[in-house]
Structure 1
């Protein structure tokens, strides 16, 4: 452990909220059925951790109904932003409403257990559509699926944020060719990396995950001005017990190693991305 401290104004760039279900019920066809995790509980966590700002990622069970996160963003007085999920039926007027409500990007799920299109051509059209709003695309997938898509999109102007470090399994050797391809993608000025999901990468192993620090630092070094972090609270669809969010924060501070780098990852970079 080092003495790097959490900077003032820190962001948690990956959270989900669910409920209260009497006000924000799940649809009958919800992708999964989570436990209630309302915005008030997230705010309490952030106060304990010393986190000032956050990003609410639209939870898959709510589909394209963004009411729960739009209401939370409004209640936060602008301290939180959102990442939405849209489809072919989303109109330009609806996109503008989402923007006015604090949404600053959309998420593409390339993970098999989550709903969403996997067609790179259709997804690119959607990514191009949100570019004029100044939004970015959060791309969630494992390296074997994700990298070929990124390589098809080298001319895409819309910024892409690679979610959860591209979902590696750090309990076994990482494919070095795929890792090199990922690092190469991060040298592109429109590619960002979210240094989150270490608990998933470590398959629920106990903290402090020292074997993951080098991996995360490699990605950070590839894009130091385009790296961000998040807790993934309340940790949906994980194996075993939820990780300690304070340990996740301690991990990213260890990865950053200096106050200057922590300021970039936790404050300055997200401040630009979610403006």
Structure 2
């Protein structure tokens, strides 16, 4: 083969050679274990350990009120997702536009992210106790105490609020990086035209950060569905009455407490499918709203 042909062939193969190590890592550490877990979900536990049981584990899951409650809580988290994205997005906007107090935001916004979930949960256990500072503050304005962690209608919202507080720093960093790609002349033109902050957000900032918003939506969803175990374990233990169960906590109970790894694998498979479906729906909705190309 002539030297020019060999050079052209090498140039064509170079991208594949560069991505091959990453692909191998993903296959070995992600896809292969995922396939093993899915396969394991079709086997039995206890006396039927290693025996093929078909869809028995999935039938058991969807007959379990705790698991069905965990799935309902996933639906609630999806509804709360826009709020969890809007909070760091607005704070990043305040920092970027240098509104009064932006120096304080810039100095302290990342502090919660350095705390472990156990520490954050322990702090808010004290703050949200029935006789704690939060209820004392409510009492000063004439409002009755709230059983933040003991009321089934309130507990999950309290835990999600703590999770958002503890993790919004990472999303805010991503938003600030997105603002670095925003054309400042667009903002200047809008200001000259007298556009207020709501119009800046709607017509300049949101369209200019479409990819960033999409990325934050997906990563925040993954965090809500897979990174709340520490807070649940410390703050509520899945209670009261299973009201704060999420699939990841249910999986840990089945695997770590009840020694039912096959059932836990089935729950993990369902969680994975839920994440895929929710992620695809998010992308579809964002495209239909015109926010994603």
TM-score, with length taken from structure 2: 0.21
Taking structure 1 as the reference length, what is the TM-score of the superposition?
0.22
| Greater share of helix | 2
Greater relative CO (CA pairs within 8 A, separation 6+): 2
Larger radius of gyration: 2
